[in-house]
Amino acid sequence: MQTKNPMEFFRNLPSKQCAECGQQIQEQHESYLMECDYCLSKKEEY
């Protein structure tokens, strides 16, 4: 038997926080993203 799908684990999380600024991330991104819109947009500049 395998363990649960990792996606299940992410779905069970109550909320995510941005790894950069600690802001709460709304569930509008794919689960692998660990940063908020603001920090992501900063990163896209380079």
| Residues engaged in binding Zn ion (CB under 5 A) | 18, 20-21, 23, 36, 39
In the complex, the smallest distance separating the C-beta of residue 3 from Zn ion, rounded to whole angstroms, is: 30
In the complex, the smallest distance separating the C-beta of residue 33 from Zn ion, rounded to whole angstroms, is: 11
Q: Which is nearer to Zn ion, 20 or 33 (CB)?
A: 20
Q: Give, rounded to a whole angstrom, the gap between the first and last alpha carbons of the chain.
A: 44
In the complex, the smallest distance separating the C-beta of residue 46 from Zn ion, rounded to whole angstroms, is: 16
| DSSP, res 35 | S
Give me the count of residues in the chain. Answer: 46
Beta bridge pairs of residue 24: 17
